[in-house]
Structure 1
Amino acid sequence: MIKLKDKLQKNEFVITAEVESPKGPDFGDELNRIKKLYGYVDAVNICDNPMANLKMSPIALSHIIHEQLGIDTIFHLTCRDRSLLGLQSELLGAWALGITNILTLTGDDPKKGDNPTSTGVFDCDSVGLARIANSLNNGYDISGNKLNAKTAFLIGGVLNPFDSDAEIEKMKRKIDAGVTFFQTQPVYDVDAYKRFIDRVGNLNVKIIMGIMPLKSYKMAINFNEKVPGINIPEHIIKRLAEDPSCGIKIAIEIAKKAKDFADGVHIMPLGRLNAVVQIAEELGRGGKRFEL
């Protein structure tokens, strides 16, 4: 397996994709779906109780995918469910299991999820979590106590590429904390994204552009009205109004335009892994038959 970290260091264009975790201990169906991505992606993202809804541990599922499918993983870790002590313990366990790529997140309010009586911890935010992972990489816990060995996590952060000055300052804080790659929110205006990349090109960090194929005209309108930081141009909304099934085609066009200057694309398929395959094939990737 060629690791995501190695490809980024070699300035190769990478493809990552978000996959779903099971709500329960049986992972067989999800594993059968994920193995179809073998050869098409450089890593899959495993969310950490997304939208504060209960799912299998991202570290456990990442280990299963890594061991049984040979696909690299990026596990999400949020500050919502664990104390500072727990976050460090989880990271050390992940490293021991061979899970080396982390996406640091603050996490959603548990009151909005399917276990609303759960208590959010939030001992730190995503910047603090990146700092914790970086401290472990240097061989120390967050209190300065020496570990018996260093970790070497590839530390990632999330990024909204259209919040201009405020987002760039937050981005710099994350880099100072140890983040070396970012995955962005979905991008629909490639020209605006290119202008953002030009502004931050001197920060020496990898940025993987988010792509989310739209399912309908209604979804596009909802995103524009209710999701901060996402701007879907009028010409895309018009196309969806005329042809609600063209979302994947639009995503492919966006990905192809970005390939000339982006470090990679991160596909959020909303459960439609066939969309990942279609986009990857249009970017020149050929899948491989998975064999045990």
Structure 2
Amino acid sequence: MKLKEALEKKKFIVTSEVQAPMGDDDPETLVENLKRIRGRMDGVAIADVEMEGIVGDSIRTCELLNENRFDAIYQTTTRDKSRIQLQKDLNHAHDSGVENLLVFTEDYRISGDSLQETMFFHVDSGKLASVLQHLRDGRTVDGKDLPSPVDFIMGSGVESPWGKNVPKQGMNELETMREIGTGYFLTTPIFDLDQFEKFLKQIKTFNVPVIAEVMLLRNAAMARFINRHFKAGLVPDWAIQKLDKAPNKLKASVELFSDTIKGLRDLCDGVHIITLGGIDKIQPYLDAAKIR
């Protein structure tokens, strides 16, 4: 089932993400690894990636995933793109058969397959709104006609650790993204379900589906690395201690993941799984959480 259909039917959405092949990486290896989750995900996001001057072809990767019966999500940022470049990328994605777009409003993001990959996203909502409106009207930002209108099922990221105290600026940003046409909000990683429930009560007036990020943490060292290099306190101490003290690390990791998923089923509209290089190890996690 495609992401659009799953949203329309109000299913509990399950998506994940992978990194576009870099340099000599074999795209077919990516597809082979993803075959393990075929039928268990409603969409797979591919991020814009550049590392040490090498750029991953995320749009071509999206095209490859669609050819192999995965519903690809083109993940991008407006921060370093002009309106012309953003328009070019979105038009290219659409011409390649991509139906889903994912953009972000927070200033940091852990993404893709590698802990060494740091993505910084900031959405210029005015720029994005202008480009999207032109594309939806079937014209370019400089007034030229396009062969046909261009549109996407769009998700946008939201900062969720505020709990019940979402600042006015944050609420205004959510309202802006809703007006632009956001079909769902994607949160930052969720560990504290009580805090997340308070956050959801704050934003329920927007009447936009909310998909919660869930991080697949395989060990305490990985959790500490994330807190040290990405955002202090992102992974709470209790989760680190659970992974650290458990005699069976895999069992503790799977329990942490599945317990979080089970709690989220009663709170929000779906989950987005950050595997951090573990897409080929995800099956026992999906099984424990009873995902398809």
TM band (smaller chain): 0.7 to 0.9
Residue 219 of structure 1 pairs with residue 222 of structure 2: yes
Residue identity in the other structure for 1:60: R
Residues 7-26 of structure 1 mapped to structure 2, 5 A cutoff: 7-24=6-23, 26=26
- Say whether residues 1:58 and 2:64 are aligned partners: no
Deviation for aligned residue 1:41: 0.7
Contact 1:134 1:178 in 2 (8 A): no
Bigger Cα displacement from structure 2, 5-14 vs 80-89:
80-89
Structure 2: stretches of 5+ with no match in the other structure: 109-120
The 5-angstrom pairing of residues 102-113 of structure 1 reads 102-105=101-104
User: What is the identity, as a one-letter code, of the residue corresponding to 1:89?
Assistant: K
Match of 1:192 among 170, 191, 195: 195
Q: Give aligned-pair identity as a percent.
A: 26
Residues 170-209 of structure 1 correspond to what in structure 2 (within 5 A)?
170-209=173-212
Instruction: Kindly report the root-mean-square deviation, in angstroms, between the aligned alpha carbons of the 2 structures.
Output: 2.8
Q: 1:106 to 1:231 in 2, by over 3 A?
A: closer
Residues 33 and 280 in structure 2, CA contact (< 8 A), matched pair in contact too? no
Q: Does 1:127 align with 2:130?
A: no
Which shows bigger deviation, 97-106 or 226-235? 226-235
CA deviations on 1:71-111 (whole Å, 9 max, x unpaired) are 101111223554321211221121122101011248999xx
CA–CA distance in structure 2, aligned partners of residues 106 and 232 of structure 1: 20
Letter of the structure 2 residue corresponding to residue 66 of structure 1: N
Does 2:256 match 1:257? no
CA contact (8 A) 1:248 1:275 kept: no
Q: Which residue of 1 aligns with 2:275?
A: 269
CA contact (8 A) 2:160 2:188 kept: yes
Preserved CA contact (<8 Å) 1:21 1:47: yes
Q: Distance in 2 between matches of 1:203 and 1:229?
A: 30
Structure 1 counterpart of 2:88: 89
Aligned-partner Cα distance in 2 for 1:234–1:274: 27
Q: Quick one: distance in 2 between partners of 1:87 and 1:106?
A: 16
Partner in structure 2 of residue 158 of structure 1: 157
1:35 aligns with: 35
Name the CA distance, whole Å, in 1 between partners of 2:257 and 2:127: 32
Q: Secondary structure at the match of 1:180?
A: strand
Deviation at residue 250 of structure 1 after TM alignment: 0.3
Q: Unaligned stretches of 5+ in structure 1?
A: 110-121, 287-292
> C-alpha separation between the residues in 2 aligned to 1:52 and 1:158?
26
Superposed CA offset, 1:182-239 (max 9, x none)? 2222111111111111111120212110011223324334444554486433332321
TM-score relative to the length of structure 2: 0.81
In structure 2, how many angstroms separate the alpha carbons of the residues matched to 1:271 and 1:169? 35
Query: Which letter does structure 1 place at the counterpart of 2:211?
Result: I
TM-score of the two chains, using structure 1 as the length reference:
0.81
Q: What is the alpha-carbon distance in structure 2 between the residues aligned to residue 227 and residue 233 of structure 1?
A: 13
* Conserved? CA contact 2:105–2:158, under 8 Å: no
Instruction: Answer with 3-12 or 171-180: which moved more.
Output: 171-180
Q: Indicate the residue corresponding to 2:69 in structure 1.
A: 70
Contact 2:74 2:93 in 1 (8 A): no
Quickly say closer, same or farther: Cα 1:188–1:106, change in 2 above 3 A.
closer
